[in-house]
Chains A and B, each alone.
Chain A
Amino acid sequence: MKLQSRHLLGLEGVSKEDINLILDTAESFKEVLGRPIKKVPPLQGKTIVNLFFENSTRTRISFELAERRLSADVVNFAAGGSSVSKGETLKDTARNIEAMKIDMVVIRHSSTGAPHFLSRVVQANVVNAGDGQHEHPTQALLDMMTLREKYGTLEGLRVCIVGDILHSRVARSNIFGLKTMGAEVSVCGPETLMPRCIEEMGVKVYNKLEEIIPHVDALNVLRIQLERQKNGLFPSLREYHRYFGVTKEKVDRAPKPITIMHPGPINRDVELSADLADGEHSVILEQVTNGEAVRMSVLYLLGTSN
């Protein structure tokens, strides 16, 4: 068994077999996370650099823990206070990495395609930790792992992604992955935050939460980026909460309990009510644990395939 690609740049075009291999392997790593010694040796001697051109605490920590638990050597590189702020181009950064004999690169960048570019100019394996508004594959994989764990399969599962679909790489990666695995995917959010022609990705579009809630197994609630409000894409947080905020009152109208997911960090009582976030059908913290297992799985599969 082996992944088809040397890199994980996105879930678009990744086969069902490869997604299953990543998720199955991640389940084995979850067992490692339950041990008293949460460290295993497969990436001993490998050096991984985390290139974060965009701020992210959570994803970086999750990747870093995954790397350390696989016994890799880890170098962190944040854009602020680095050569990037001195005007270095991505290509030069990449060449320098190459010269330092790095085996794998985890990159987050505000520009779409930055990881793809990197994968063409360096020998190292590249993992996309979020590029622009394009893809965030490990987030989607951990979402799928969480759902698969709960329901046994993704085939036929009805998942609705709620919120700012337009700016969301999490939404895009989830749509690609879930569709490949045979799930029924819908999206729901204000017209102004909906990408044009999103239907072409094979999803149904709803502008009212009440319409979709009775027909889903899980809601993946996206974070509302508060700065968007300044751009006038929706009138107020209060109004957003009223129409698109996922609340107990709205969810209780469904015939059966709905699983609540959120990629974090949560704006409590804006996109998701606090009682649901902490409620019995919330799998939000499970997503965080699975995130580590999924990242270990991806790094392990790519790092041992050379």
Chain B
Amino acid sequence: MKTQILDASALRRTLNRLAHELVERNRDLDLLVLVGIRTRGEFLAHRIAKLIQSIEGKDIPVGVLDITLYRDDLHGRLDQPLLKSTEILFDITGKTVVLVDDVLYTGRTIRSALNALMDIGRPAMIELMVLADRGHRELPIKADFVGKNIPTSKTQEVMVMLSEKDNDDAIYLIHENDDEKEELQ
């Protein structure tokens, strides 16, 4: 079963708010760079950059990070994730890097992303922006900018759809089994 959490216009308003929050909290836009985590984080980062451009008239550099090589579950998976390139064509040293991802869950992806970023340069600061936070953290990681907090159980799945890839803008909550009443977090 599938429940819609955000529709296209709500998602647009959420991103708008996130862009404003980001600008409000980072006064010096010259130091700001966005790095999206493949795949959907990349599209979100580009949208945020576009919004900042319309709010402040400033172009913020956008990079893409592939965290495959830094995953902690590379070995012993049945299916290997396809390795893609990291495309960060600017120096991140001394910059405020805003990591952008679609869903924050266990925090393991972000841990991988932090290690990957550190191998590329030494940012002055790293902030985290996520479209949805569904709880169940397994590592001490917290987002600085959250689009929507979604209480979930572990059997559920949060599906983010973005028009760049999925022909739709929406967030859905997918229920594996309705009878299962796990504690919400």
Question: Taking beta carbons and an 8 Å cutoff, which residues of A are in contact with B?
Answer: 1-2, 21, 24-25, 27-29, 31-32, 35-37, 39-42, 300-301, 304-306
Question: Footprint of A on B, CB under 8 Å?
Answer: 66, 68-70, 74-77, 79-87, 115, 119-121
- Cross-chain contact B74 with A42 (CB below 8 angstroms): yes
A29, B84: Cα distance in complex, Å? 9
Q: Are A40 and B120 in contact (CB under 8 A)?
A: no
CB–CB A40/B82 < 8 A: no
The answer to whether A1 touches B79, judged by C-beta atoms less than 8 angstroms apart, is yes
A185 to B77: give the CA distance in the assembly, Å.
38
Instruction: Given A41-B69, A304-B74, A304-B75, decide whether A36 and B83 contact each other with a Cβ distance below 8 A.
Output: no
Nearest neighbor of B118 in chain A, beta-carbon distance:
A37
List residues of chain A with CB within 8 A of the CB of B119: 35, 37, 39-40
Question: When chains A and B are docked, how far (Å) is the Cα of A25 from the Cα of B77?
Answer: 18
Q: Closest CB-CB distance, B104 to chain A, in whole Å?
A: 22
Taken together as a complex, chains A and B put the C-alpha atoms of A305 and B76 apart, in Å, by 7
Instruction: State the main secondary structure of chain B at its contact with A.
Output: loop
Given contacts A35-B119, A306-B75, contact A1 B82 (CB under 8 A): yes
Assess the B83–A28 pair: CB atoms within 8 A: yes
Q: Given A2-B80, A35-B120, are A27 and B75 neighbors across the interface (CB < 8 Å)?
A: no
Report whether A31 and B87 are in contact in the complex, using a CB–CB cutoff of 8 Å: yes
In the complex the two chains form, is A305's CB within 8 Å of B85's CB? no
Q: Given the complex, which residues of A lie within 8 Å of B69, measured CB to CB?
A: 32, 40-42, 300
Residues on the B chain within 8 Å of A32, using CB: 69, 86
**Residue on A nearest B119 in the bound complex, by CB:** A37
- Beyond the given pairs A35-B120, A42-B74, 4 more chain A to chain B contacts, judged by CB atoms under 8 angstroms and listed by A's residue number, are A28-B83, A37-B119, A300-B69, A306-B76
In the complex, A39 Cα to B116 Cα: how many Å? 10
Cα–Cα distance between A306 and B121 once the two chains are bound (Å): 32
- CB-CB under 8 A for A28 and B84, given A36-B121, A37-B120, A41-B70: yes
Which residues of the other chain, B, contact A37 by a CB distance below 8 angstroms?
119-120
